[in-house]
Structure 1
Amino acid sequence: MTSVINYLPAKLTNSTLLYATGLTLLTLPPVTYLVSGLYTSRKRHSKLFSKHIADESTSEGKHVVRNMQKDYDLIIVGAGVIGSALAGVIAEKDPSRRICVIERDLSQPDRIIGELLQPGGLAMLDKLNLQHCSEGIDASVVKGYGVFLKGEQLNMHYPENETGDRPTGRGMHYGRFVTKLRENMKQYPQVHVVQGSVKKLLEKDGVTYGATYKDADTQEIKTVTASLTVVANGAGSGFTKAVSGTKPLSRSTFVGLRLNGGNAVLPYPNHGNVFMMHPGPVIAYPTSSQDVRVLIDFPNGTMPPMPQMATYLRDKIAPQFPDDIIRNAFLDAVNEGDIRSVPNREMPAERSRKPGVLLLGDALTTRHPLTGSGMTAGLTDVYHITNALQGADYEDYESIQRRLDVWWKNRNSSMATINILANALYAVFTPAATPDPYVGLLQDAVFSYFKTGGVCVSGPVGLLGGLIKNPYILASHYFAVAFFTVREACRPLPTPWSFYASYRAIKCAVGIVFPLMAEERILRPLIPTGFFNRDEMRYGTKALNKLSRSS
């Protein structure tokens, strides 16, 4: 209870709030489930997440692979942000490592997501000695968020650090950033970079020892072997399910445009601007001194066909912008016609114990990109995994697993906070993706909570920025918002309807966050992983089946 009150403003810490928040946290969630019949012991929906794959290797297989002559110590599949950063950091820390990086396309990539680096990610880049890679690419400083909901707007800055300074993030062109990271790893002579498509991972009795790939220049199928293979080729990786038994689920699609004019067209310059629109939120943030990225979220089942997209954006989305400056820039971008889309995926991490192979980045876990936290999550993993593996014998599989256990423990708090926050915020901010009529009460309560100021802003924005990495602080703020929902519903006087609305709003809130906490293994004795099926709870069985078919 003390942890909850520590992150609420002083003017709210009275006996009423103590009692109400304690009641919300300790009583209403289990009561909600017992009454609604959603407190189940069923496992996850089989169409969404497969079972965990354990170590099925044999002692003979490990012995044979260990005695093979290998081409490299390490193979990295994918040279995006995570793969390139990993290669550069390991090469710097241990010059004796022979590293092979295999990338499908080494030309400068051009993506519509992965262009916002939160302050926590920028700090992690500094810890990895890679901050120079974010410089010289015309990146734009990002100071916080501007939020727009139902005619109201709110400006929120990243919170001050211990020295009184306000950390900042960076909006950047993804391709320019990746190119700098690739240039950094290529400076090390022990790093061999090849362009090709990896076709399969090589295994012997359950032990991975390399990969085959199709060389982009010769079109030949080639084999390369190594003591350890790291798969870091993104959320669409074809190897994720084989290694960890999981697969991502697409719940929505981002449609992206690039606006001319830079910060001058944004209502809040040098901020991420979030517009609560229909059917989903719209995000706009600067990616250079001249450009602004706009992403329009379409929950599954709401997106028009791409040939009709320009008309839809012009007629339905543009009128919802709050001022003419960004609206006109948006219409100009629509008329230019460079409209692209990308599916938004969610996937909790599963710890694979298959020897010789490791997943990293979005190939391991991904969350809705609404919060722009993907690079922060990936770079945090790079930091922890390079520390865990430093000086290791990659062919001592038992020692490697013990080191990976340390990595998994160190990463858990940060990753759980990032994933829960992103997926929970998306559910609250997108009523079309969460067909519960009372989610609107939660959305209004979030905005009211932000307007309270103090730690009601600094806490959530610190979480968004990757500066606060404690999932229990996240839970404290989340259920404080639930209390705000009850307070708003009972104004000016409590009525039978307000009590019912409060119950439904709490039920919706718990139905969103408890399964996410279960997936991330938070409070495991109280929220066991197999007891909460978030998909049936959030959507209902019929809606879930439709969602699974559409993805």
Structure 2
Amino acid sequence: MVEGVIASLMWLLFLYNTLLTRFFKNTNASMVLQGEYCLNKTRNGKVDRRNATEVIVVGAGVAGSALAYTLGKEGRRVRVIKRDLNQPDKIVGELLQPEGYLKLLELGLQGMQEPILIDAQRVFSYVLYKNGKNTRLFYTLKHFQSDVAGRSFHNGCFIQRMRHKAVSLPNVSIEQGTVTSLIEENGTIKGVQYKTKGGRESKAYALLTIVCDNSFSNLRRSLCDPKVDVLFYFVSLVLENYELPYANHGHVILAYPSAILFYPISSTEIRCLGCYIPGQKVPSLSNGEMALYLKTVVAPQMLFISIFTLIMMENQLKEKITY
């Protein structure tokens, strides 16, 4: 799960370098501005060519925001529509690998993860634990500049920084709205129908529409198999003001039924992630089932953690747990 950011960035780079570059190279500028479907009109009905949208991006996560910024730098007029523009609270994509950091540089998105901006922490290697023993695995970074390393942070802070970077370009806009369907004419997607933040039904048109929504998007039925099977859950919590045995390292406990991860997400917070819970039902917090599961299944396998840490986990469980 912690590979989510790098996977999104690498997929974005592939998408941009192949499909999008080829698309725009084969489309001359006059075509972009001619179709009625990709033009906005003024109140008197005249076409406003200055504000014509070339690309609609549905979603403003890692992929959507980075794509909007990259296309905007190329001079494309991009309109991003996102259901909720509040800072997300997710446990996916909190540890950016060095390769992901290099992709940020390649896309011109450097600075998104720097400590001064989002309290990001450098990660230089991992420590693996099993049966009371441990070993360290280092990134191969000797051929790179000193700033190239992993970065761990609050995913939501990282996403917000990327959104701000995208809208810093005058030809990129981000609007809060819920896309309900794609507008299709003669087998061609012409845009999207959506509800504005105020609940008004609206339509947006562009030459190209790209969906960067998540796996639970209501657009899945139009694009692929809409069925999503939930086979298991990961539970996480945050430990505050605690130091791991190795600073600036990810800690991986090879446990059962899944690995358990510890890594810093700020200068004062440690994420505990990976309490794998199979099935469709999550143990209840209110009646103590979750605390019992962590004590009896998870805690006994974390030999390197002190009793003090286990007490902290129990005390912070109700406030900090995330699914």
TM-score > 0.5 by shorter chain: yes
Q: Is the 8 A contact 1:314 1:331 kept in 2?
A: no
Q: Give 2:19's aligned residue.
A: none
How far has the Cα of 1:271 moved from its partner? 1.2
* Residues 213-224 of structure 1 aligned to structure 2 (within 5 Å): 213-216=194-197, 218-224=198-204
Shift of 1:87: 0.8
Q: 1:332 to 1:176 in 2, by over 3 A?
A: same
1:85 counterpart (66, 74, 94): 66
Label 1:77 to 1:304 Cα distance change in 2 as closer, same or farther (>3 A). Answer: closer
Q: Quick one: which of 275, 282, 295 aligns to 2:253? A: 275
Quick check: 1:252 aligned with 2:232?
Answer: yes
- Inter-partner Cα distance in structure 2 for 1:222 and 1:302: 37
**Alpha-carbon offset, residue 172 of structure 1:** 0.5
Alignment of 1:437-448 (within 5 A): none
Distance 1:330 1:131, change over 3 A: farther
Q: How does 1:175-190 map to 2 (within 5 A)?
A: 175-190=156-171
- Contact 2:123/2:152 (8 A) holds in 1: yes
- Change in CA separation of 1:330 and 1:240 when aligned onto 2, cut-off 3 Å: farther
Q: Is the 8 A contact 1:252 1:299 kept in 2?
A: yes
| Alignment partner, residue 173 of structure 1 | 154
Map of 1:148 onto structure 2: 129
Tell whether the 8 Å contact from 1:304 to 1:312 is kept in structure 2 after alignment: no
Change (3 A) 1:247 1:142: farther
Give the match for residue 47 of structure 2: none
Aligned position for 1:194:
175
> Is it true that 1:68 corresponds to 2:36 in the alignment?
yes
- When the two structures are superposed, what TM-score results if normalisation uses the length of structure 2? 0.77
Tell me, yes or no, if structure 1 residue 328 matches structure 2 residue 308.
yes
**Is the Cα contact below 8 Å between 2:56 and 2:208 reproduced in 1?**
yes
1:104-119 matches, within 5 Å, as 104-119=83-98
**Preserved contact between residue 209 and residue 226 of structure 1 (Cα < 8 Å):** yes
Aligned counterpart for 1:237 among listed residues 217, 231, 237: 217
SS of the residue aligned with 1:285?
strand
Q: Distance in 2 between matches of 1:85 and 1:333?
A: 35
Correspondent of 2:241 among 236, 255, 261:
261
Contact in 1 for aligned 2:238/2:321 (Cα 8 Å): no
Q: Which amino acid aligns with 2:315?
A: N
1:253 is aligned with what amino acid?
Y
Question: What CA distance in whole angstroms lies between the structure 1 residues aligned with 2:273 and 2:281?
Answer: 13
Identity over the aligned pairs, expressed in percent?
34
Does the CA contact (< 8 Å) of 2:233 and 2:282 recur in 1?
no
Q: After TM superposition, give the deviation of residue 237 of structure 1 in Å.
A: 2.3
Q: How far does residue 330 in structure 1 lie from its aligned partner after superposition?
A: 4.5
Indicate conservation of the 8 Å contact 1:73/1:228, yes or no.
Answer: yes
Provide Cα deviations, 1:514-540, integer angstroms capped at 9, x if missing partner.
xxxxxxxxxxxxxxxxxxxxxxxxxxx
Q: Is the 8 A contact 1:146 1:155 kept in 2?
A: yes
Counterpart in the other structure of 1:53 = none
Q: Is the 8 A contact 1:158 1:166 kept in 2?
A: no
What are the ranges of 5 or more consecutive residues in structure 2 without an aligned counterpart? 1-30, 40-52
Cα distance between partner residues in 2 of 1:141 and 1:251: 33
1:403 equivalent in structure 2: none
Shift of 1:316: 2.9
Q: Give the SS at the match of 2:319.
A: coil
Q: What's the CA shift for 1:167?
A: 4.1
Q: Cα distance 1:121–1:93, how it changes in 2: closer, same or farther (>3 A)?
A: same
Show CA shifts across 1:414-459 (max 9, x none). Answer: xxxxxxxxxxxxxxxxxxxxxxxxxxxxxxxxxxxxxxxxxxxxxx
Indicate conservation of the 8 Å contact 1:196/1:213, yes or no: yes
What's the CA shift for 1:306?
2.8
Deviation per CA, 1:322-372, whole angstroms, max 9, x where unpaired? 2344x5334323322135454xxxxxxxxxxxxxxxxxxxxxxxxxxxxxx
Instruction: Give 4+ residue runs of structure 1 displaced > 6 Å after superposition.
Output: none
Structure richer in helix, relative to its length? 1
Cα RMSD, aligned residues only: 2.4
Question: What's the CA shift for 1:247?
Answer: 5.7
TM-score normalised by length of structure 1: 0.46
Give the superposition deviation at 1:314: 3.0
Structure 1 residue 114, shift from structure 2 partner: 1.4
Contact 2:129 2:254 in 1 (8 A): yes
Deviation at 1:160, TM superposition (A): 3.4
- AA of the residue aligned to 1:258: V
**CA distance in structure 1 between the partners assigned to 2:189 and 2:108 by the alignment:** 30
SS of the aligned residue for 2:37 comes to: coil
Q: Counterpart in 1 of 2:10?
A: none
Amino acid at match of 1:109: P
Listed one character per residue, the Cα deviations across residues 90-141 of structure 1 (whole Å, up to 9, x for unaligned) are 11122xx221111111111111221110101001001111111112211000
Residue 23 of structure 2: aligned partner: none
Which residue number in structure 2 is paired with residue 126 of structure 1?
105
Q: Which amino acid aligns with 1:156?
A: L
State the SS of the aligned residue for 1:338: helix
SS in 2 for 1:306: coil
User: Does the 8 Å CA contact 1:255/1:339 hold for their aligned counterparts?
Assistant: no
Secondary structure, counterpart of 1:90 in structure 2: helix
Aligned to 1:517: none
Larger-gyration structure (1/2): 1
In structure 2, the CA distance between the partners of 1:269 and 1:302, relative to structure 1 (3 Å rule), is farther
Cα 1:160–1:134, aligned 2, differ >3 Å: closer, same or farther? closer
Give the gaps of 5 or more residues in structure 1. Answer: 1-62, 343-551
Partner of 2:8: none
Q: Is the 8 A contact 2:56 2:210 kept in 1?
A: yes
